[in-house]
A and B are shown apart, each in its own frame.
Chain A
């Protein structure tokens, strides 16, 4: 019988033997079994997800935008972003040569929107990663430690939850200055609390399960329990939450950019809209300058939200049965 190793790594070789029926050739170390189980879970998840129309539609949109962002240098030249090289007509509406029109410097709005996708998606993803790191750490520590640590961390979380996010973001960004890094930090600082709460709730439930108690009885350390038992079981919740956080992070970036807190040196969908608004595109009726970046934001946020809904539906049987 395979025993649960008290040391996380495979320092001692587990008992190796072939499957009795000879159908799988994988050594039955605890680790191999675990990975097999996880692979099966992912395959199973995918087969349910594939049947979810909303989730698949969202996924398709995301793949398209991901491809556009990655292939931006192939699709269009970054020279199109340089105001000194711009040679198009000024503030012209959509035409064959400029399908989405031009801005007040004669740059193609299409080129800017394509390149803007890189910064918007990158800031959104980076802010999400940071949000997840802060939120998941706080949630796991609070839920796992319990007692006064939990009480203190949850008080702080509640406090961040109550503060109006944009007011906090404005105050932070105006003091710290303007750069992509600071935008990422500001978004993460204002959006981790909900993640922390979700993760904590899940940790509280996982902590009570028999296999954790068993591992503890076998002398597993806190670190081992958290990384090998708690984290893998909390991971699906973290992942589902991540998708929704990306949507919020992208929206936050555009709003901060619109208020002039973005990085003026990088073109994102938010900064294109800010340039357009500042240049008076609204009163000039230059709708093409404002529509394309905005539609891209809506599509990407919508796609992430749809994927998140699909995840929620699969992970939360209560909703599925309804």
Chain B
């Protein structure tokens, strides 16, 4: 019963947040300086005449009252109609462009999140367990430096070193355009192109997982049940893995979800550096060209992704830690 209330409450919050985002997105592009028609006209240069602008305003329904526009907007969005791109892919619907660019980003963000979590957590466990050791101090310094680095700058350095100077990896793109690989060769080619962007994003987020895991392990090691486990005469390895790590892992679950928004931000810049054709690069193109319908859709899509990630983390946390449900 309690679980159900918790679930309903969380889902209610998500619906409310989504509504806020829709409202915000709607107002942002309509009420702030310049309505969409003016913005579109500005983007299209001086090519739009006054009459064209009026026509555009009528086409977009901007001459109708704001409330009516809002309901039309909500209805359209719920039906998956996010409008049409104006400059980057003129005339194509935003939804179809997204579905085309979604996969590379999912692969990049997915793999790098998994890798940075695994390596960060393992390093954190090792460092926290042997606190003050040489490994602890050097990995602490390493993590702080990684944390202080803009991820795209790291990407540029790796690109110059591994791709331009050493020539080990391609400098960008999803696949080699000149070669026509098939089967296994195609797969290797894909991995080759994925390697550097993936390494960049992994390194960029590794430090945070390390720092969190280390400090949460140190917290847990001070708890009484650890003393008890030791008093029972358990082997140290067992104390660490069975008692300490299990509980210290909990905050990491939240961080993965909270970080999701930052990883997407990282995808925007890193995909740009490596010309990796995903949603991030698409966002950059839309931004440089001032393609407002595409930007608006991107904002909605990224927000939705982060909200869902947070919901999953909340539910997972409640499943892993019964105290959260009871509270």
* B145 part of interface (Cβ distance < 8 Å): yes
* A158 part of interface (Cβ distance < 8 Å): yes
Q: Across the interface, do B160 and A282 meet the contact criterion of CB distance under 8 Å? A: yes
Known: A166-B268, A298-B145. A255 touches B150 (CB 8 A): yes
Taking CB as reference atom, which chain B residue is nearest A155?
B16
Binds B, one of A41-49, A102-110, A301-309: A301-309
Q: Across the interface, do A290 and B17 meet the contact criterion of CB distance under 8 Å? A: no
Q: B-facing mask of A175-216, CB < 8 A → 1, else 0?
A: 110000000000000000000000000000000000000000
Taking CB as reference atom, which chain A residue is nearest B291?
A174
Interface residues of chain A: helix, strand, loop or mixed (majority): helix
For the complex, count residues of B whose C-beta is within 8 A of A.
54
Q: Which residues of A in the span 261-278 have a Cβ within 8 Å of any Cβ on B?
A: 261, 273, 277
Nearest CB on B from A308, distance (A)? 11
**Residues of chain A lying within 8 A (CB to CB) of residue B16:** 155
**Residues of chain A lying within 8 A (CB to CB) of residue B152:** 255, 258
Q: Across the interface, do A175 and B33 meet the contact criterion of CB distance under 8 Å? A: yes
* B9 part of interface (Cβ distance < 8 Å): no
Nearest CB on A from B73, distance (A)? 16
Q: A-facing mask of B125-162, CB < 8 A → 1, else 0?
A: 00000000000000000001101111011001101100
Q: Across the interface, do B303 and A322 meet the contact criterion of CB distance under 8 Å? A: no
**Residues of chain B lying within 8 A (CB to CB) of residue A22:** none
Number of A-B residue pairs at CB separation under 8 A: 133
Nearest CB on A from B23, distance (A)? 10
Nearest CB on A from B211, distance (A)? 10
Q: Across the interface, do B306 and A163 meet the contact criterion of CB distance under 8 Å? A: yes
Taking CB as reference atom, which chain B residue is nearest A253?
B150
Q: How large is the interface on A (under 10, 10 to 19, 20 to 34, 35 or more residues)?
A: 35 or more
**Residues of chain A lying within 8 A (CB to CB) of residue B33:** 175-176
**Residues of chain A lying within 8 A (CB to CB) of residue B159:** 282
Q: Which residues of B in the span 291-325 have a Cβ within 8 Å of any Cβ on A?
A: 292, 295-296, 298-299, 302-303, 305-307, 310
Known: A259-B269, A290-B157. A285 touches B299 (CB 8 A): no
Complex Cα gap A282–B307 (Å):
36
Choose one: B147, B164, B287, B292; the contact of A259 (CB below 8 Å): B287
Choose one: A260, A273, A287; the contact of B287 (CB below 8 Å): A260
Q: B-facing mask of A274-314, CB < 8 A → 1, else 0?
A: 00010000110101001100100111011001100000000
Binds A, one of B100-108, B226-234, B258-266: B258-266
Taking CB as reference atom, which chain B residue is nearest A251?
B150
Complex Cα gap A255–B145 (Å):
17
Taking CB as reference atom, which chain B residue is nearest A302?
B148
Q: Across the interface, do B148 and A301 meet the contact criterion of CB distance under 8 Å? A: yes
Q: Across the interface, do A290 and B302 meet the contact criterion of CB distance under 8 Å? A: no
Choose one: A159, A164, A174, A290; the contact of B153 (CB below 8 Å): A290
Q: Across the interface, do A170 and B307 meet the contact criterion of CB distance under 8 Å? A: no
Known: A159-B20, A322-B218. A283 touches B171 (CB 8 A): yes
Nearest CB on A from B284, distance (A)? 7
Beyond the given pairs A175-B33, A251-B150, 17 more chain A to chain B contacts, judged by CB atoms under 8 angstroms and listed by A's residue number, are: A159-B21, A162-B17, A163-B21, A163-B261, A163-B306, A166-B265, A175-B34, A175-B39, A260-B288, A273-B153, A277-B156, A282-B156, A282-B171, A290-B156, A294-B150, A297-B148, A301-B147
Listed by A's residue number, 22 A-B pairs whose Cβ atoms lie within 8 Å are A162-B310, A164-B264, A164-B305, A166-B268, A167-B261, A174-B292, A175-B28, A258-B150, A261-B287, A282-B160, A282-B171, A294-B149, A294-B150, A294-B157, A297-B148, A297-B149, A297-B150, A297-B153, A301-B149, A302-B145, A302-B148, A305-B144
Q: Which residues of B contact A (CB under 8 A)?
A: 16-17, 20-21, 28-29, 32-34, 39, 144-145, 147-150, 152-153, 156-157, 159-160, 164-165, 171, 215, 218-219, 222, 260-262, 264-265, 268-269, 272-273, 283-284, 287-288, 290, 292, 295-296, 298-299, 302-303, 305-307, 310
User: What are the nearest 8 A-B pairs in CB distance?
Assistant: A166-B265, A164-B261, A301-B148, A302-B148, A167-B302, A294-B153, A164-B302, A298-B148
